[in-house]
Structure 1
Amino acid sequence: MIVQELGWEELAECNKAMGDQSRLRMLALLKTEDLCVCELVEILGMTQPAVSQHMRRLKSAKLVKERRQGQWVIYSLDGERLPYFRSVVDSLPDLSYEIEALKASGKKVVCD
């Protein structure tokens, strides 16, 4: 049972984190590929602090994870401990065209 594994508070935190349109869009983008904060800023048209704040909330809820590559912070999906997380992510719209547009504009970062 989910509640016994996570606890009510943690389960509520996960659901609150997914209860925001911007964060859902971020999850939809991350379902296509891992992205750097600067790429999310460009795609979403948000400031870097705003994107970072949303990502902190998702990370705190253990729905995304980060890894550092030099100066870059790369985000990817996590959330596998939630049995329903994969079905939620799968139900999100395919936003791969936004990442393709970023690549076409030459603004896709190669984080090495």
Structure 2
Amino acid sequence: MVGSVEMEQAAVIFKLLGDRTRLTMLKLLDEHTCCVCEFVEIFQVSQPSISQHLRKIRDVGLVKEERKGQWIFYSLNKSNAYYTFLAPLLEQLPDQSYRLKELEENGTRINCC
């Protein structure tokens, strides 16, 4: 069936979504491009911790990376086969844009650039 996800693939996605940090990251990346340093500020955790979360999401192809100088920016890979499965779930979640707005107000939005 076109557009369907196998049970094993669905289990992998649900496991990723089972972590609040990754779930919030995916919601943010659905509408915004973010750098690791922004996630460090938002979640108040270490850079290695954020990188681990991003690696798990990247391993299933749900995020894209774009290098700008020494920095890597992440966005949701909407052409990934899993995105059609993920998108309706993300639509049900509350908007997280306020987190980036807070960074802007604090002067820490994209402090890596």
- TM-score, scaled to structure 2: 0.84
Residue-by-residue CA offset, 1:11-39 (whole Å, 9 max, x unaligned): 33222112211100111222231100000
Identity %: 41
Using the TM superposition, name which of 79-88 and 58-67 deviates more: 79-88
Structure 2 unaligned spans of 5+: none
How far apart are 1:57 and its partner, in Å? Answer: 0.4
Name stretches of at least 5 consecutive residues in structure 1 with no aligned partner. none
Q: Aligned pair count?
A: 109
Kept in 1, the 8 Å contact 2:37–2:112? The answer is no
Could you tell me which residue of structure 1 aligns to residue 36 of structure 2?
A: 37
Which position in structure 1 is the counterpart of 2:81?
Answer: 81
Paired residue for 2:54? 55
Contact 1:14 1:62 (C-alpha < 8 Å) held by counterparts: no
Cα pair 2:27 2:93 within 8 Å, conserved: yes
Give the TM-score, by structure 1 length. Answer: 0.85
Runs of 4+ in 1 over 3 A off after TM superposition: 7-11
Q: Which moved more, 1:89-98 or 1:47-56?
A: 89-98
Where 2:104 maps in the other structure, the secondary structure is helix
RMSD: 1.9
